[in-house]
Structure 1
């Protein structure tokens, strides 16, 4: 029998983090894009988001982000709007909590629900921190969308 010289197959490489700690360039919205907060996850790479312009949209997570960037309710995301379907959009980018604070500091988010300092601390570094909402803040956002 041949001697095993390797240390395992592709499952061993699955847990490596390559370049997750580097600083990313801050992306701002362009024409055909908008900022939104994730309201709830729907499954099948879809979510419901409240946009800055006051509409609730059904959004699709693009394949580049799928299983690489984890999106949770309360996260700030950048949406690519569709010309032919106004009530649907595509998630282009997820902002980490420190990036969302910078976007707010630059004045890109009018009517930011919950204020600027309501983010959870992200101790484990996986980008899973989101916005902490009070009950009256959630009610105010839902009422403004209806």
Structure 2
């Protein structure tokens, strides 16, 4: 019977390594591309992204990335701009947190705040309905 050498399992087949063996090269933007941050997920492979040039665009996640690369609010992505539609774009790459920090140190993401996932949606959630506290005796008196 062969010995188990620890090479099996789902994560190994996917190529995920925690010790840094699977580092990828940093991709910089070219002509017709723009850095952006995800503002809102819309569903059906679409999202709303705030670009570095100040515009908010509706972006489509390309088919090669669907169900393989998970994008959430606050992620830094690379968009391919469309020549015929200025308000629409295509997502071609998602940067990890380390890659986004490296882009910032290289000066690619100037005047662009890196918002963490928890901070991105907290502004809208703060507003809501406030309830007054009532004693149980007051409630029983009004019902009885």
Task: Give TM-score, length-normalised by structure 2.
Answer: 0.69
Larger radius of gyration: 2
Runs of 4+ in structure 1 over 4 Å off: 14-17
Q: Tell me how far apart the structure 1 counterparts of residues 112 and 57 of structure 2 sit (CA, whole Å).
A: 18
Deviations 1:82-141, CA, capped at 9 Å, x for gaps: 000000000000000011000001000121225xxx65xxxxxxxxxx474474xxxxxx
Q: Tell me how far apart the structure 2 counterparts of residues 20 and 62 of structure 1 sit (CA, whole Å).
A: 22
RMSD across aligned positions (CA):
2.2
Deviations 1:51-98, CA, capped at 9 Å, x for gaps: 000000000000111000000000000000000000000000000001
Task: Give TM-score, length-normalised by structure 1.
Answer: 0.69
- Structure 1 regions of 5+ residues with no counterpart? 1-13, 120-129, 136-146
1:18 aligns with 2:14: yes
Q: Tell me how far apart the structure 2 counterparts of residues 83 and 131 of structure 1 sit (CA, whole Å).
A: 34
Q: How far did residue 15 of structure 1 move? A: 4.3
Alpha carbons 1:75, 1:131 under 8 Å: kept: no
Structure-to-structure mapping, 1:48-87, within 5 angstroms: 48-87=48-87
